[in-house]
Amino acid sequence: GDRGEGAVLLVLHDMSEVEAAHRVRQDFVANVSHELRTPLTSLRGYAETLLDGALEDREHATQFVQIIRAQAERLQALVDDLLSLAELERPDAEFQATRYDLHIAVERQVAAFADAARRAHLSLVFEPSAPVWVLAEGPRLEQVVANLLDNAIKYTEAGVVTVRIGEDATMGWCEVSDTGPGIDAEELPRVFERFYRIDKARSREKGGTGLGLSIVKHIVGLHGGEVSVRSEPGVGSTFRFEVPRAR
């Protein structure tokens, strides 16, 4: 009868969702393993080279230990990002949005990245603005701003990184613009995927994990907001997120 068919359809639908979730998890585990393997292989190789005699070679020994430290830092960044994602995905995760001034998140993170910008010979500009009151978890919103600033500074060779904030009828927004390499149109929608990188070697060399923008997307989604990017290759990129305003 009608009822029976309805039930069968429902079950099939559930199964395909379970299967899809399973596949996503499998891909994720495979990706994580791959990401862990590269620095681990390198750590082991340099340690063995040192033990095989390079320890006696002062100059090379120092260089190899510096590489070991850099690889360990990479592993640390990866584990930190994985823990952030795990925390965000916990089904019982508490999300407590309160009235929060976007201005404060941006001001703090612009101050935190001032040194990195100076070292990269970039100007970091935050155009002063009135408070923008949004409904948010302060520390998480700061992480969003931090990840966007980190990328803008990491991928920009020369020029300016500019942060702007504002509000419209229902949302508060923040834009981070850079004068970096830009992103091709066909890559744009993919940069928010976990482990997606346009230039793997460059991301790795800069200490990237490939998870920064997926964390951004996740946090903004938890806030009931949206993240987007527009970019012109050779000119620069603008990442924008918006979250609901506080009444």
Report the interface residues with ligand ADP, using CB under 6 A.
151-152, 155, 178, 180-181, 183, 191, 196-199, 203, 208-214, 237
CB of 237 to ligand ADP, least distance (A): 4
Nearer residue to ligand ADP within complex by CB, 210 or 225: 210
Angle at 132 between CA 129 and CA 138, to 5 degrees: 120
Q: Please, what is the minimum distance in Å from the beta carbon of residue 190 to ligand ADP? A: 8
- Nearer to ligand ADP by C-beta: 46 or 239? 239
Q: For ligand ADP, which is the closer residue by CB, 61 or 85?
A: 85
Burial of 74 per CB tally in 10 Å (0-12, 13-18, 19+): buried
Closest listed residue to residue 154, CA positions, set 107, 77, 208, 216: 208
Alpha-helical (H) ranges within the chain are 2-51, 58-89, 102-112, 114-119, 138-155, 200-205, 212-222
Q: How far is CA 40 from CA 71, 74, 165, 205, in A?
A: 8, 10, 41, 15
Residue 68 Cβ vs ligand ADP, minimum distance, rounded to whole Å: 21
* Minimum gap (Å) between residue 144 Cβ and ligand ADP: 11
Q: Which is nearer to ligand ADP, 101 or 143 (CB)?
A: 143
Hey, is 132 helix, strand or coil?
coil
**Residue 188 phi/psi, 5° resolution?**
-50, -50
Minimum CB distance to ligand ADP, residue 7 (Å): 42
Q: Rounded to the nearest 5 degrees, what angle is found at the Cα of 86, between the Cα atoms of 81 and 89?
A: 125
Pick 152 or 174: Cβ nearer ligand ADP: 152
| Residue closer to ligand ADP, measured from CB, 162 or 237 | 237
Helix (H, G, I), strand (E, B) or coil at 45: helix
What CA–CA distances, in Å, run from 221 to 25, 141, 185, 217, 226? Answer: 20, 11, 23, 6, 6
Minimum CB–partner distance for residue 240 and ligand ADP (Å): 12
- Of 100 and 192, the one with the shorter C-beta distance to ligand ADP is 192
219, 223, 216, 218: which is closest to 239 by C-alpha?
216
Least Cβ distance, residue 151 to ligand ADP (angstroms): 3
